[in-house]
Structure 1
Amino acid sequence: MWITGTVLKRIDWNDKLFSLRIKADVEPFIAGQFIKLSQMRDDKRVARAYSLVNPPGTDYVEVLAVAVEDGQLSPDLKALSPGDTIQVTPKATGFMTLDEVPKGALQGKHLWLLATGTAVGPFISMLATDEPWQRFEKVVLVYGVRLGEDLAYLETIKQFISQHPLQFVFIPIVTREDYPEGLSCRIPDGISSGLIEQKAGLGINAEHSQVMICGNPGMISDAQTALVEKGLAKNLRRAPGQITVEKYW
């Protein structure tokens, strides 16, 4: 089932990275979930999944995307302007949510959010809700990109810093150029070397840490390996652990 959404706003972060704010009658959702966008091309529907960046309760949906030159849908999305329409699934889905993170004695005190590229989207949605701040003493967002211009939603992140100065730690990682106050390593390497813990001023361990990872499959696999070496285990419903993941393609 598809419904028609109308583009309210397009934000161009750089020449390829953009966000679309869409007016659409989407059902209530949980921060971290995704919807699908689609268009008809040659009588065939082309659809792709995009995480919601906006928090629950807003009267619009917002997605963060990158225009891939030979992509089947993203170049068309990049060309949309306010007033244009796009097909949207009315119900969000997905398990990259804080509902899936253990509570109580198994929760720990610190929430680590590790993202690369557009996979920061679901974490922006979560951080705009009350839940992470109520459940955890410290919240750390590690956001890895190639270039500084690839860091989207920096003003929103700065608002989180202002609102939660004693709780929130933001660690940008830019791998292909120097970036003030940031690191230059890959996220898995930063975990293994201890650089990320040093930057955060917090240790990553099974007793105190819950880690959510969203991004490219290579980063997720390597980061999981590095975390397992630190004694953490993958979080499963039948066996609660400390590592919750979602591959972004």
Structure 2
Amino acid sequence: MSPSAAPDLPIAGVPTGHSKWTTERVLDVRYWTPAMLSFRTTRDDAFRFTPGHYARLGLAADDGSIVWRPFSMVSAATDHHLEFLAVLVPGGAFSSALARLRVGDSIQVERASFGFLTVDQLAAGRDLWLLASGTGLGPFVSILRDPSVWRAFERLIVVHSVRRSSELAYRTELTTLADEHLLVAGAARLLYLPVVTREQGATALASRIPRLIADGRLEEAAGRQLSVLASRLMICGNPELALTLRQVLGARGFATSRRGIPGQMAFEKYW
């Protein structure tokens, strides 16, 4: 899925005298489920982004026109390739083109990157909670691939909620990421909490994230309390999750950044 865009989002500059996009080549396609896939493309040397940003991708539709959709980068900002996580939407023009994607195919990547779901939008804190549903996990993988994030916090807590265990993309990487050689110097400890809601017994936590917060089970599982003083939260997923958590967390005193005042939570809406 793709994050919704707004016309006044911060943009990584586009060089003058260039087209707004580059033509890249697909390097790899991986299907996690029949409807969920990740794919890698080549990367223009001038393309820059901050972990948590997204870019607009263009694919040829059935009628030959180019269909554009925004997708968060999953790759690290320093990788020589770009990586994305997506779900196929039945009947969707972009999804139809994406389902045909094969290694060696061409894809357009807009030169600009966008978004507010970046760590620098948050006030300094001790614990970083990354709360995702479905493909909303994508930008968090990019953030966790950034060694500076591991130095900025004491604890990184990843909560990924899906319906089926097969949808737990990047599960192996997330359970072993703390051992990566580039990250071992960081002070943070990583805790990965998968949540499967429609397969009884698949994970220790099986309710939706807002309910897990409301009844205290998420804090218990993490061994950390959610506090305005120490906790910073980033939320990415379906609109219902974003709306509910904005209300639940807002009632507990958490706020988003505004007028140059860093907040304790940041959102990216998918769908």
Unmatched tracts of structure 2, length 5 or more: 1-19
1:146 to 163, 171, 190: 163
What do residues 209-228 of structure 1 show as CA deviations (whole Å, max 9, x unaligned)?
11111111110111121112
CA distance in 2, matches of 1:157, 1:83: 28
1:38 to 58, 62, 68: 58
Aligned residue number for residue 15 of structure 1: 34
Question: What is the number of equivalent residue pairs in this alignment?
Answer: 245
CA distance in 2, matches of 1:181, 1:72: 34
| Alignment RMSD (CA, Å) | 1.7
How far the C-alpha of 1:180 sits from its partner, in A, is 4.3
What do residues 78-104 of structure 1 show as CA deviations (whole Å, max 9, x unaligned)?
2211111111112322121112112xx
Unmatched tracts of structure 1, length 5 or more: none
Deviates more, 1:159-168 or 1:93-102: 159-168
CA distance in 2, matches of 1:179, 1:208: 32
Aligned residue number for residue 59 of structure 1: 80
User: 1:35–1:91: 8 Å Cα contact kept in structure 2?
Assistant: yes
CA distance in 1, matches of 2:261, 2:190: 28
CA distance in 2, matches of 1:114, 1:205: 15
Indicate whether 1:206 and 2:228 are aligned: yes
Aligned residue number for residue 6 of structure 2: none
Aligned residue number for residue 102 of structure 2: 81
Aligned residue number for residue 266 of structure 2: 244
CA distance in 1, matches of 2:255, 2:179: 33
1:114 to 126, 131, 139: 131
CA distance in 1, matches of 2:215, 2:230: 19
Higher RCO, 1 vs 2 (CA within 8 Å, ≥6 residues apart): 2
CA distance in 1, matches of 2:64, 2:31: 29
| Letter of the 2:218 counterpart | I
Which aligned runs of 4 or more in structure 1 are off by greater than 3 angstroms?
161-166, 179-182
Written as runs of structure 1 = structure 2, the 5 A alignment for 1:155-174 is: 155-163=172-180, 167-174=189-196
Written as runs of structure 1 = structure 2, the 5 A alignment for 1:218-237 is: 218-237=240-259
| Letter of the 1:170 counterpart | Y
CA distance in 1, matches of 2:191, 2:33: 25
User: 1:38–1:46: 8 Å Cα contact kept in structure 2?
Assistant: yes
CA distance in 2, matches of 1:187, 1:148: 16
Q: Give TM-score, length-normalised by structure 2.
A: 0.85
Q: Matched residues, percent identical?
A: 36
User: 1:204–1:230: 8 Å Cα contact kept in structure 2?
Assistant: no
Which secondary structure does the structure 1 equivalent of 2:146 belong to?
coil
Indicate whether 1:5 and 2:27 are aligned: no
What do residues 113-155 of structure 1 show as CA deviations (whole Å, max 9, x unaligned)?
1011111000000001112211111110010111100110112
Q: Give TM-score, length-normalised by structure 1.
A: 0.93
How far the C-alpha of 1:160 sits from its partner, in A, is 1.6
CA distance in 1, matches of 2:136, 2:113: 16
CA distance in 1, matches of 2:178, 2:203: 14
Distance 1:241 1:24, change over 3 A: closer
